[in-house]
Structure 1
């Protein structure tokens, strides 16, 4: 004999139970935003300090903004800025060319090349730049003549050191050799960061080694090289002020000459500071765009440039101005995202 349990049909209430009570709506929750008193206090303190600094710039008579305006675009200062740019450009090109050669010498399988490159980097990073510049400035005291001939044998052609290496030449040589030691480590670090499998695959395809370096290794290494290289170029731009010991008419030297003659130290230092800030800003902008170009293969949606941001804000403002108001207004179509779509 089998016993079965009677079940109520679907939708019927169980025996002895009343109708189900209606669902009780959830009580509204009070959402309290998180408070950050320390953040607000820090923001207020920084704002007050910044406002106080700007107020001091505007009201302190020691800055002598009239003297600053008279000299910031004067012919002497502009010529000095041009000399500073020339020294920076020559030393950057020569320094990074020699640094690239040294970097690949350190990566070579030859122990002689590796030792020579390592010794060069060790020596030139150990000696301060100002000492190197003074040394090259007094090169004629060490070598009166420079010539070409057979090693340890007769000299076929020679020239006086002073006529071959002048003041500007000594400055360019000193800056370039000093920069090459740091550029070698920057380039070597970028090359080492490239996956070794890339070179193995290129070698398996029969691509010659120079083409491997030129077309495969260096384009990928540039993404790691450029940020540090840009920092080195900015440092070199400011480091050209050291050549004042050689009486070269660059920016800082000319500012010294003018305030030594007029006694207006603060405004002339402010002139040099303003020009260094402008030149550094231009170099930073150039570095930003070069980095974006070499990052195209790795980042499909690079961040927008400041000009693209400004255009986006302008389009948003125009769309908001053209949007009709009222209950029958049609919502505006959202703009395309800044970085594009994947």
Structure 2
């Protein structure tokens, strides 16, 4: 008697060759619908601006390169550079005072930060512009003598430009001090202690050890502060600071072409802030070398080639 034979196992079908496979990509219809809706809205807005007779693109183009516009741009750039230079140098000093073990220095720095960060920048600019109402004459002399170093009417010394610089720069000192202090705190304290063991003084440690390493942390927020400072220069128009906004305001106050001239100001502000953003990007790349994805990628490539590190 023969044992029952098992049914034959069906042969496993081999997969079709890769050339016969049909690859169907995932279709994201929602993305296309959203992109079409946003594009339609943007095109409608652009068309409404270009065809709006109150904007008058031809008039805007004719004002873009006028002399008064370039003079205003020049003053805006000078205000930004001078205010940021004073702000950075003063910020380093105030940050060092804030971190000092001397209670008098740290208290003075704290009060300075409390006042200038706690009051609006516009109020500070107006205050400096009308300082003559508080002190009609500025007198600076040598104590206990009759010798006067400065004895002039305040309006002759604190001009609108000087008032603008004082308002912008002192406000920036307060914010830059906190940015710099945060960058300095990010540096390992052991490096400072090692520098002290080598006999380096506080100023030399700050200049050669702490600040170079803190720059990687300081530059991104300081770059944002510089861009913000460029825009904040428009506030000096309230005291006639001769900046870009003041220049266009003086003209549209006479010809009543408010929208075209404000569009000119917007265009140049965008150009200047774009250039600053580009510079910030390059500085971040320069001081960020050796950190982040760059160093990780280098290690990975070395390990992948089997090289010793």
**Counterpart in the other structure of 2:307:** none
Q: Give 1 or 2: higher helix fraction.
A: 2
Kept in 1, the 8 Å contact 2:83–2:169? The answer is yes
Deviates more, 1:22-31 or 1:45-54: 22-31
* Among candidates 40, 46, 67, match of residue 48 of structure 1: 40
CA distance in 2 between partners of 1:98 and 1:155 (Å): 32
1:24 matched to 2:13? The reply is yes
- Normalised by the length of structure 2, the TM-score is 0.84
CA distance in 1 between partners of 2:157 and 2:54 (Å): 46
Kept in 1, the 8 Å contact 2:161–2:242? The answer is no
**Counterpart in the other structure of 2:185:** 192
* Among candidates 71, 80, 85, match of residue 88 of structure 1: 80
* Among candidates 223, 237, 249, match of residue 242 of structure 2: 249
**Counterpart in the other structure of 1:167:** 160
Once the 2 structures are TM-superposed, how far is the Cα of residue 60 of structure 1 from its aligned partner?
2.3
1:291–1:20 Cα change, 3 Å: same
CA distance in 1 between partners of 2:45 and 2:188 (Å): 49
CA distance in 2 between partners of 1:216 and 1:176 (Å): 27
CA distance in 2 between partners of 1:208 and 1:248 (Å): 42
* Among candidates 206, 222, 241, match of residue 213 of structure 1: 206
Which runs of 5 or more residues in structure 1 are unaligned? Answer: 1-15, 303-340
**Counterpart in the other structure of 1:325:** none
**Counterpart in the other structure of 1:239:** 232
* Among candidates 248, 256, 269, match of residue 263 of structure 1: 256
Once the 2 structures are TM-superposed, how far is the Cα of residue 38 of structure 1 from its aligned partner?
2.6
SS in structure 2 at match of 1:63:
coil
Once the 2 structures are TM-superposed, how far is the Cα of residue 196 of structure 1 from its aligned partner?
2.0
**Counterpart in the other structure of 1:104:** 96
CA distance in 2 between partners of 1:109 and 1:173 (Å): 29
1:298–1:206 Cα change, 3 Å: farther
Kept in 2, the 8 Å contact 1:76–1:254? The answer is yes
Kept in 2, the 8 Å contact 1:102–1:117? The answer is yes
- Rg comparison, structure with higher value: 1
Which runs of 5 or more residues in structure 2 are unaligned? Answer: 296-300, 303-309
SS in structure 2 at match of 1:140:
helix
Once the 2 structures are TM-superposed, how far is the Cα of residue 47 of structure 1 from its aligned partner?
1.5
* Among candidates 122, 142, 148, match of residue 130 of structure 1: 122
CA distance in 2 between partners of 1:204 and 1:34 (Å): 63
Once the 2 structures are TM-superposed, how far is the Cα of residue 140 of structure 1 from its aligned partner?
2.4
**Counterpart in the other structure of 1:62:** 54
**Counterpart in the other structure of 1:116:** 108
**Counterpart in the other structure of 1:78:** 70
1:180–1:33 Cα change, 3 Å: same
CA distance in 2 between partners of 1:67 and 1:32 (Å): 53
Once the 2 structures are TM-superposed, how far is the Cα of residue 138 of structure 1 from its aligned partner?
2.0
SS in structure 2 at match of 1:61:
coil
Greater relative contact order structure (CA < 8 Å, 6+ sep)? 2
CA RMSD of the aligned region, Å? 2.6
Once the 2 structures are TM-superposed, how far is the Cα of residue 237 of structure 1 from its aligned partner?
0.8
CA distance in 1 between partners of 2:34 and 2:8 (Å): 60
Once the 2 structures are TM-superposed, how far is the Cα of residue 91 of structure 1 from its aligned partner?
0.6
**Counterpart in the other structure of 2:30:** 38
